[in-house]
Amino acid sequence: SRTHDWWRDAVIYQVYPRSFADGDGDGTGDLAGVRANLPYLAQLGVDAVWFTPWYLSPLVDGGYDVADYRTIDPAFGTLGDAEKLISEAAEHGIKVIVDIVPNHISDQHAWFQAALAAGPGSPERERFHFRPGRGENGELPPNNWPSQFAGDTWTRVPDGEWYLHLFTPEQPDLNWSHPDVRREHEDVLRFWFERGVAGVRIDSAALLTKHPDLPDFTEGVDPHPYLDRDEIHDIYRSWRAIADEYDGIFVGEVWLPDSERFARYLRPDELHTAFNFNLLACPWDPKRLRRTIDDTLAEHAPVKAPATWVLCNHDVTRTVTRYGREDTAFDFETKTFGTPTDLELGTRRARAAALLTLALPGSVYVYQGEELGLPEADIPLDRIQDPMHFRSGGTDPGRDGCRVPLPWTAGEPHSGFGGATEPWLPQPAYWPRYAVDRQLGDPDSMLALYRTALRLRRDTPGFGDGPMTWLPSDNGVLAFARTDGLVCVVNLRDHPVELPAHSELLLASAQLDADGRLPGDTAVWLRG
Ligand code: TEU
pLDDT reported for residue 439? 98
pLDDT reported for residue 464? 80
Q: Candidates 148, 202, 376, 403: which one to mutate for ligand 1, based on the most atoms within 8 Å of Cβ? A: 148
pLDDT reported for residue 392? 87
CA–CA separation, 307 vs 314, rounded Å?
A: 20
Q: Is the pLDDT of residue 328 over 60?
A: no
Instruction: Decide whether any atom of ligand 1 lies within 6 Å of the 255 Cβ.
Output: yes
Residues 6+ apart with CB under 8 A from 166: 103, 104, 145, 147, 148, 153, 173, 204, 207, 226
ipTM of the complex: 0.95
Q: Is the pLDDT of residue 72 over 80?
A: yes
Nearest CA to ligand 1 atom 14: 203
pLDDT reported for residue 290? 98
pLDDT reported for residue 502? 86
pLDDT, tens digit, 9 for 90 and up, residues 192-208:
999 999 999 999 999 99
Average pLDDT over residues 360-379: 96
Residue type at 220? G
Instruction: Decide whether any atom of ligand 1 lies within 6 Å of the 148 Cβ.
Output: yes
pLDDT reported for residue 22? 98
Q: Is the pLDDT of residue 275 over 50?
A: yes
CA–CA separation, 50 vs 96, rounded Å?
A: 6
| Residue 489 three-state SS | strand
Least confident of 73-87, 139-153, 213-227, 386-400: 386-400
The ligand 1 atom at the shortest distance from the C-alpha of residue 316 is 12
Lay out the sheet containing 130-131: strands in order across. 130-131, 162-164, 154-156
Instruction: Decide whether any atom of ligand 1 lies within 6 Å of the 61 Cβ.
Output: yes
pLDDT reported for residue 2? 40
The phi, psi pair for 15, rounded to 5°, reads: -100, 130
Residue 276 is classified by DSSP as: B
Residue 476 CA to its chain's centroid (Å) = 29
Q: Is the pLDDT of residue 327 over 80?
A: no
Q: Which of 203, 253, 270, 315 is catalytic?
A: 203
pLDDT reported for residue 463? 83
Average pLDDT over residues 75-103: 98
Residue 326 pLDDT level (bands cut at 50, 70, 90): confident
Average pLDDT over residues 467-489: 94
Nearest CA to ligand 1 atom 2: 204
The ligand 1 atom at the shortest distance from the C-alpha of residue 61 is 19
Instruction: Calculate the average pLDDT of the chain.
Output: 94
CA of 315 to the centre of ligand 1 (A): 6
Residue 331 pLDDT level (bands cut at 50, 70, 90): low
Residue 128's closest CA among 147, 148, 158, 107? Answer: 107
Alpha-carbon separation of residue 94 from 50, 88, 99, 277 (angstroms): 10, 9, 16, 24
| Residue 486 three-state SS | strand
CA–CA separation, 34 vs 308, rounded Å?
A: 24
Residue 521's closest CA among 489, 486, 480? Answer: 489
pLDDT, tens digit, 9 for 90 and up, residues 425-477:
999 999 999 999 999 999 999 999 999 999 999 998 778 878 899 999 999 99
Percent of all residues in the chain with a pLDDT value above 70, rounded to a whole number: 97
Instruction: Decide whether any atom of ligand 1 lies within 6 Å of the 204 Cβ.
Output: yes
pLDDT, tens digit, 9 for 90 and up, residues 139-193:
999 999 999 888 899 999 999 999 999 999 999 999 999 999 999 999 999 999 9
Residues counted in the chain: 528
Residue 67's closest CA among 75, 76, 58? Answer: 58
Average pLDDT over residues 81-91: 98
User: C-alpha angle with apex 209: 208 to 213, nearest 5 degrees?
Assistant: 140
The answer to whether 198 and 250 have CB atoms below 8 angstroms apart is no
Q: Which of 5, 88, 245, 513 is catalytic?
A: 245
What b-and-e string marks burial along 346-365, b requiring 16 or more CB atoms within 10 Å of the CB? bbbbbbbbbbbbbbbbbbbb
Q: Is the pLDDT of residue 124 over 70?
A: yes
pLDDT, tens digit, 9 for 90 and up, residues 20-29:
999 999 999 9
Residue 452 CA to its chain's centroid (Å) = 23
Q: Candidates 54, 174, 204: which one to mutate for ligand 1, based on the most atoms within 8 Å of Cβ? A: 204
Give the containing element (helix H, strand E) for 274: strand 273-274
Nearest CA to ligand 1 atom 22: 64
| Residue 363 three-state SS | strand
Q: Is the pLDDT of residue 70 over 50?
A: yes
The gap between the terminal CA atoms of the chain, to the nearest Å, is: 30
Largest CA distance in the chain: 80
Predicted TM-score (pTM) of the model is 0.96
The packing angle between helices 446-459 and 343-358, to 10°, is 10
3-state SS track over 8-59: HCCEEEEECHHHHCCCCCCCCCCHHHHHHCHHHHHHHCCCEEEECCCEECCC
Nearest CA to ligand 1 atom 9: 315
Q: Is the pLDDT of residue 381 over 80?
A: yes
376 is known as an active-site residue: no
CA–CA separation, 260 vs 302, rounded Å?
A: 10
Average pLDDT over residues 219-228: 94
As a whole number of Å, the CA-based R_g of the chain is 23
CA–CA separation, 155 vs 44, rounded Å?
A: 45
Residue 287 CA to its chain's centroid (Å) = 25
Q: Candidates 16, 50, 64: which one to mutate for ligand 1, based on the most atoms within 8 Å of Cβ? A: 64
Residue 445 is classified by DSSP as: S
Residue 1 pLDDT level (bands cut at 50, 70, 90): very low
